[in-house]
Chains A and B, each alone.
Chain A
Amino acid sequence: MSFLELQQVSKSYGEGQTEVHALSNITLSVDRGGLVAVMGPSGSGKSTLLTIAGSLEEPTEGEVLIDGQPLSSLSRNEKARLRRRTVGFVFQDFNLLAGLTAVENVSLPLELDGVGARRARVAGLQALEDLGLADRAGHFPDELSGGERQRVAIARAVVGDRHLVLADEPSGALDSTNGEAVMRMFLAACKRGLAAIVVTHDAQLASWADRVVFLRDGRIVDQTIPPPSPEALLQDVRNP
């Protein structure tokens, strides 16, 4: 069953002559273990789609379901709890808190959710270790490289019992090797059963996804057909 479902979601800002349709009639679902990339140019509605999927904004029309639960049926507090417990966000500019160490940044969402400090720290250290950052746990963000900061941000997004990761241009400022490392981490998280959406204009990042959805002027205009196994590709290359 789909973990995240957007059903005929539309979003507009303003009214009358100044009304802008950011999203029109978006239907999209992501299963547990699935990684979906959303590609499109600037202004195509990618980021709006992500904020609505993560309950940070409400759609003008349509419904979003997370784990079968319609977000419109939840109160503000319930949505906030859902975001803390279930949804992890990763942003292009990392959004780490400068005054907290790496492990404090990672364990913060757990502590905000009422998990005891010691348990939260153990979980935070584990998440950092999974991403190869155990030796950076005590460093502050400005003591880390760009790639390390993004890995801390990913650790924060997957720590605890999260089931959905939403990433907005997660490797925007990173070189291609670090970008690849970021996508390998998302894939690994999906293999553990998380559902993930990555929005990006970068085809190299998007090509790590099981499915790529193309957005234009707020509408889904196309999507990829699941690729055949890579062996088929090599067969083609080897026997043209």
Chain B
Amino acid sequence: MSVRHALLGLLSEGPKYGHQLRQEFEVRTGDVWPLNVGQVYTTLQRLERDGMVESADDGAEGAQKDFRITPSGERELLAWLRTPPDLTSPPRDELVIKVLVALALPGIDVRDVLQIHRRYLVELMQQWTRLKEDEAEFDLPLALVVDAELFRLDSVIRWLDAVDGRLKRASLETFEPDTSVPRLRRRLAVRR
């Protein structure tokens, strides 16, 4: 997560000092991601070094020192908002690897393995949903963060369901993994 750009975003509303930035960051992210004040100051120093923020030269020190965004910082913020994060390479997902290993091991009931993970994910989703039920109806940033987490977990469950479906269809055929060619990597030109 880009603390750097989140701080630029907060400063684009007007000059702010370090403690205030920390507080506002936490509120705007639904209080889900904590940020220590040291992290805020280190980031502000780097932003200042790169010419994206400047501190008010009014003699105040530390916690009361005001920071403001520069035109170069504004440009950086707008460019960042419109730059998609790099999602081109499939992440090396531990769950995918577990399922592939389970599939290759004799004597393992893959559907039982899938169910263990499915239940765990649904239990996590129940907790996030409870949070939404209790608090998030009136707290938009929290609702957005909780939704993002729910959609992410949901997509993993859908993948598990898809594996289940494929296994069911393939159950009459013998599964023999082809280990000779790194097919996916070649076809998708996946970067390492």
Residues of A that sit less than 8 Å from B by CB: 39, 41, 176, 180, 184, 187, 201-204, 206-209, 212, 214, 216, 221-225, 227-230, 232-234, 237-239
Assess the A203–B34 pair: CB atoms within 8 A: no
Question: How many angstroms from the CA of A204 to the CA of B31 in the assembled complex?
Answer: 22
* Nearest CB on A from B81, distance (A): 24
> Which of A184, A187, A203, A225 is in CB contact (< 8 Å) with B154?
A203
* Nearest CB on B from A238, distance (A): 5
A184 to B, closest residue via Cβ: B133
* Residues of chain B within 8 A of A237, CB atoms compared: 32-33
- From DSSP, what is the main secondary structure of chain B's interface residues? helix
B119 to A, closest residue via Cβ: A222
Assess the A207–B126 pair: CB atoms within 8 A: yes
Assess the A230–B125 pair: CB atoms within 8 A: no
Assess the A208–B115 pair: CB atoms within 8 A: no
Assess the A238–B165 pair: CB atoms within 8 A: no
* Residues of chain B within 8 A of A216, CB atoms compared: 111, 115
Known: A204-B150, A207-B150, A214-B119. A230 touches B111 (CB 8 A): no
B27 at the interface (CB under 8 A from A): no
Question: How many angstroms from the CA of A197 to the CA of B135 in the assembled complex?
Answer: 24
13 additional A-B pairs beyond A41-B161, A222-B115, A234-B32, beta carbons within 8 Å, are: A41-B165, A176-B147, A187-B133, A203-B154, A207-B129, A212-B126, A216-B111, A221-B115, A224-B122, A230-B135, A232-B127, A233-B128, A237-B32
* Residues of chain B within 8 A of A229, CB atoms compared: 130
* Contact pattern, B 153-169, Cβ under 8 Å of A = 1, otherwise 0: 11001100100110000
* Residues of chain B within 8 A of A204, CB atoms compared: 125, 129, 150-151, 154
* Nearest CB on B from A206, distance (A): 6
Question: How many angstroms from the CA of A238 to the CA of B122 in the assembled complex?
Answer: 21
> Which of B34, B111, B125, B164 is in CB contact (< 8 Å) with A207?
B125
Assess the B118–A230 pair: CB atoms within 8 A: no
* Nearest CB on B from A239, distance (A): 8
Assess the B131–A233 pair: CB atoms within 8 A: yes
Assess the B161–A230 pair: CB atoms within 8 A: no
> Which of A180, A212, A222, A233 is in CB contact (< 8 Å) with B127?
A233
Question: How many angstroms from the CA of A138 to the CA of B118 in the assembled complex?
Answer: 44
Question: How many angstroms from the CA of A216 to the CA of B118 in the assembled complex?
Answer: 13
> Which of B33, B119, B127 is in CB contact (< 8 Å) with A230?
B127
